[in-house]
Amino acid sequence: MNRVGDFGFGLGIFACFYVFQSVEFETIFALAPLYANQTFSFFNFEVDQLTCICMLLFVGAVGKSSQIGLHT
């Protein structure tokens, strides 16, 4: 299950870089208000960018700490 966490966390970091062109907290937090309510298309679904990034990072945290759903 640790691999699921690694994959989710990796996708979250990649999404941060794709959206903000940086992985530094200062840059991301400064630019986050500009990207509020921005969406992107993913398999014909309109997905909110910030929500998607937060969910991917959350999956990474849940997988790495073996929380409910990703524990064995």
Q: Supply the pLDDT for residue 45.
A: 87
> Which residues constitute the domain of residue 13?
2-64
Domain count, the chain: 1
10 domain residue, yes or no: yes
Count CB atoms within 10 A of the CB of residue 22: 13
Quick: pLDDT tens for 14-55. Answer: 999 999 999 999 999 999 999 888 998 877 889 899 999 999
72 domain residue, yes or no: no
The CA distance from 12 to 57, in Å, is 5
71 domain residue, yes or no: no
69 domain residue, yes or no: no
The CA distance from 51 to 20, in Å, is 14
